[in-house]
C-alpha cells in the first residue's frame, strides 16, 4: 500500500497490514491473486523443506531388513577414516588411516589405503604407508605397497628383499587350492552379519543424508561381546534399507598385535553401481606381515 509523501505509518498499521499481506490478503482486489499465489508458493517451499517422515518401524525390524538388503546387493562403494591407539607390551603406537574402495558379489573387493603410524613411546619413529588391498574371492587377499616413507624404510626394504613399491604380495589364503567361479557370497554379507551382533541402545529418530530420509540408531555390541568395548551409531536408508553410514568407537579390544582403542567412520554409497575392483596380478609371494608390523609399529 502506498502512502503520501511525509505520511508516518503507525506501528498498528505496520503490524496489521503487513500481517494481512503475509497471509495473502490485500485491501485491493486487483492485487489479491498475486498475494495469494505468492503465499502459496512460499507455503509449498516450507512443506518441501520439512520433508515427510519415514514409516515408523521398530528398530529391530529396521536392522533385520538392513541385513537382508545387504545380502542382496551386487556392489557398493565404501570410504573409511579412523584413528587407533595400539598398546603392545611397553610400546604404544598411534595410527591414522583413510581408505576408499569397492565390494562386489562373490567377495571380490579392493581397497586403497593410506596409513600414518607413529611410535608414541620408545624410538618415536613415524612411517607413512600407502597401498592397495585386493581380493579376487576364494578367501585370497593381496597387498600392493605403493608408497613407503619414514624412518624405517631401510628396514622394510630389507625384509621385503628390496622390493617395497608396485609388487603384489599374498597376504592371506592359498592360491593353489581350486576356487569356484560361481558367485555365492553377496557383497555385504559380512557387514550384515556384523550388524546382527549389535543391539539397539537408543532410537535417535530420523534425519536426512544427501536428500534421503534415514533411520538413526545408537548401537552397542551384544552383552556376550562386551557392550563396553564397541559402541557406535548407524544410519540406514528408510526406503532401500541400505546401511549408508556408521561410526564406531573401540575401547581396549585385544588383538594378535596388542590392545586396540580408537574410532572409525564408514560411508557406503553407489549401491549396485560401484566401479570395478582392482584385481591383483602375478603369483604374489607371501607377505611377511608379522615382521613388517614389528618394524613399522
- Asked if the model's pLDDT at residue 5 lies above 70, the reply is no
By the 10 Å C-beta count (0-12 exposed, 13-18 middle, 19+ buried), 281 is classed as exposed
* CA–CA dist 258, 133 (Å, integer): 22
pLDDT of 22 strictly over 70: no
| Cell of residue 95, nine digits | 595410527
Question: Which tens digit of pLDDT belongs to each residue from 129-156?
Answer: 999 999 998 889 999 999 988 888 888 8
pLDDT by residue (tens digit) across 11-20?
333 333 333 3
Share of the chain above pLDDT 70, in %: 72
End-to-end CA gap in the chain? 76
- Record: fold of 59-296: outer membrane lipoprotein receptor (LolB), chain A (2.50.20)
How high is the pLDDT of residue 62?
92
Considering the entire predicted model, what is its pTM? 0.74
Q: What is the mean pLDDT of residues 277-291?
A: 84
Rg over alpha carbons for the chain, rounded to the nearest Å, is: 28
Look at residue 12 in the predicted model and tell me its pLDDT: 36
Query: How would residue 117 be classed by pLDDT, with cut points 50, 70 and 90?
Result: confident
* 225 burial type by CB count under 10 A (0-12 exposed, 13-18 middle, 19+ buried): middle
Looking at the chain, the domain(s) classified CATH 2.50.20.20 span 59-296
Top pLDDT among 290 and 110 is at 110
State the DSSP H helix or E strand holding residue 234, giving kind and residue range, or none if neither.
Answer: strand 230-237
- Cell matching residue 19: 500481517
51 pLDDT above the threshold of 80: no
Kind of pairing between the strands at 230-237 and 168-172: unpaired
The C-alpha cell at 20 is 494481512
Could you report the per-residue pLDDT of 207-258, keeping only the tens digit for each? 999 999 999 999 988 766 555 678 899 999 999 999 999 999 988 888 877 8
Residue 89: predicted pLDDT: 79
Confidence of residue 290 (pLDDT cuts 50, 70, 90): confident
What angle do helix axes 189-196 and 59-71 make, rounded to 10 degrees? 160
Q: What is the mean pLDDT of residues 59-79?
A: 89
Q: CA quadruple 152, 282, 171, 185: dihedral positive or negative?
A: positive
Residue 21, classified by CB atoms within 10 Å of its CB into exposed (0-12), middle (13-18) or buried (19+), is: middle
- Confidence grade of residue 78 (pLDDT, cut at 50, 70, 90): very high
* 127 has a pLDDT exceeding 50: yes
Amino acid at each position: 500500500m502506498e502512502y503520501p509523501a511525509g505520511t508516518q505509518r503507525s506501528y498498528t498499521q505496520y503490524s496489521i497490514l503487513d500481517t494481512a499481506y503475509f497471509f495473502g490478503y490485500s485491501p485491493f482486489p486487483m492485487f489479491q491473486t498475486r498475494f495469494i499465489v505468492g503465499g502459496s508458493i512460499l507455503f509449498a517451499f516450507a512443506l518441501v523443506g520439512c520433508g515427510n517422515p519415514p514409516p515408523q518401524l521398530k528398530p529391530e525390524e529396521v536392522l533385520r531388513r538392513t541385513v537382508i538388503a545387504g545380502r542382496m546387493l551386487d556392489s557398493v562403494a565404501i570410504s573409511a577414516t579412523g584413528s587407533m591407539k595400539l598398546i603392545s607390551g611397553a610400546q604404544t603406537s598411534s595410527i591414522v588411516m583413510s581408505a576408499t574402495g569397492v565390494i562386489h558379489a562373490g567377495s571380490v573387493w579392493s581397497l586403497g589405503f593410506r596409513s600414518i603410524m607413529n611410535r608414541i613411546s620408545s624410538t618415536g619413529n613415524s612411517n607413512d604407508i600407502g597401498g592397495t588391498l585386493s581380493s579376487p574371492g576364494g578367501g585370497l587377499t593381496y597387498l600392493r605397497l605403493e608408497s613407503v616413507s619414514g624412518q624405517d624404510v631401510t628396514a622394510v626394504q630389507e625384509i621385503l628383499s628390496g622390493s617395497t613399491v608396485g609388487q603384489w604380495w599374498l597376504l592371506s589364503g592359498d592360491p593353489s587350492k581350486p576356487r569356484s567361479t560361481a558367485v555365492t557370497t553377496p557383497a555385504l554379507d559380512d557387514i550384515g552379519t556384523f550388524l546382527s551382533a549389535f543391539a539397539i541402545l537408543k532410537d535417535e529418530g530420523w534425519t536426512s543424508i544427501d536428500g534421503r530420509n534415514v533411520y538413526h540408531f545408537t548401537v552397542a555390541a551384544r552383552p556376550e561381546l562386551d557392550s563396553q568395548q564397541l559402541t557406535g551409531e548407524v544410519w540406514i536408508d528408510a526406503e532401500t534399507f541400505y546401511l549408508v553410514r556408521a561410526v564406531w568407537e573401540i575401547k581396549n579390544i585385544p588383538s594378535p598385535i596388542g590392545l586396540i582403542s580408537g574410532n572409525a567412520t564408514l560411508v557406503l554409497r553407489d549401491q549396485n553401481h560401484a566401479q570395478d575392483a582392482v584385481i591383483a596380478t602375478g603369483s604374489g609371494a607371501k607377505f611377511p606381515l608379522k615382521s613388517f608390523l614389528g618394524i613399522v609399529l
